[in-house]
Amino acid sequence: RAPGEPILKVTDLRRSFGGVDALGGVSMELRRGEIVGLIGPNGSGKTTLLNVVSGHYPPTAGRITLHGTDLGGLGAAAVAKRGVSRTFQTPKTFPGMSIEEHLALPAVHGKRDEAMRDACRRGALTLLELGGLDPHDPAAGTRESRVMSHGQLRFLEAAMALGTCPEVLLLDEPAAGLSAAEIEGFERVVSDVAAAGVAVVIVEHHLDMISRLVDRVVVLDLGKVLWEGEPGDLHSVDSVRAAYMGVA
């Protein structure tokens, strides 16, 4: 599987909180259909990078472009509308809303072809099924999100993120709290949508999942890119081992 042309570009991205440089100048590119694993010790800036790219926090400096159009400072709803969807470490759904209502959230517009839309729809349905939330069961549509388990919420949230048919899917620790079988199912969905052209960034502590799934790994440390390369080379890089294994 060969990833396509670069679609998302982050250039010298900075974000500080008070005196802390959570991102101290990060540059990276994401290609169409590419799966990138974002790893690094706690506090290295992984979630902040997702938060800034997805518009949840404005950058302090630097640029984020999607197909050359600036996303920086747009706000989360506008960024999502342009085709960048994400999940959170703690699943965010709307308590009291049924599955049907969650999936009826507006689809985004932009450069998606029919194959990509189909793959996203199929993926979203598979995720619901993995969570035991069969959307074809007439009762499932009225099941309220507040009675779901953590795993079910995680699958519902990921299904919502895919349901908008994003061009870029940002996943924050999607495997946390899932069983091995659930993780395997999740990986299959991610591979399928990436094969159809969706670009995926996964923040994950599960190095096994990273080595099975991703095309490229980006290691952050202290808000900077420490190393970038193929997952097979990860273990041979001493500085990566020192920074990452110290905590993981």
Question: Which of 57/186 has CB closer to ligand ADP?
Answer: 57
In our burial notation (b when 16+ CB lie closer than 10 A, e otherwise), range 44-67 reads bbbbbbbbbbbbebebeebebbbe
Instruction: Considering the complex, state which of residue 20 and residue 242 has its C-beta at the smaller distance from ligand ADP.
Output: 20
CA-closest candidate to residue 231, choices 217, 213, 245: 217
Instruction: Tell me the closest approach of the beta carbon of residue 39 to ligand ADP, in angstroms.
Output: 9
For ligand ADP, the closer of residues 178 and 243 by Cβ is 243
- Contacts with ligand ADP, 8-47, as mask; x by CB under 6 A: ---------x--x-x-----------------x-xxxxxx
Site size with ligand ADP, rule: CB under 6 A? 11
Q: Would the CA dihedral through 69, 15, 55, 204 be positive or negative?
A: positive
For 77-81, the CB contacts below 8 A with 24+ separation are 79/53, 79/54, 79/55, 80/54, 80/55, 80/108, 80/164, 80/166, 81/106, 81/108, 81/109
Q: In the range 66-105, which residues lie near ligand ADP by CB under 6 A?
A: none
Beta carbon nearer to ligand ADP, 42 or 149: 42
**CB of 15 vs ligand ADP, minimal distance in Å:** 8
Compute the least distance from the CB of residue 177 to ligand ADP, in Å.
17
Q: Cβ neighbours of residue 166 under 8 Å, at least 6 residues apart? A: 80, 83, 84, 85, 108, 120, 198
Helices 150-163 and 180-195, packing angle to 10 deg: 0
To ligand ADP, the closest distance from the beta carbon of 204 in angstroms equals: 11
Query: Which is closer to ligand ADP, CB of 115 or CB of 245?
Result: 245
Shortest distance (Å) from residue 223 CB to ligand ADP? 7
Using CB under 6 A, list all residues that contact ligand ADP: 17, 20, 22, 40, 42-48
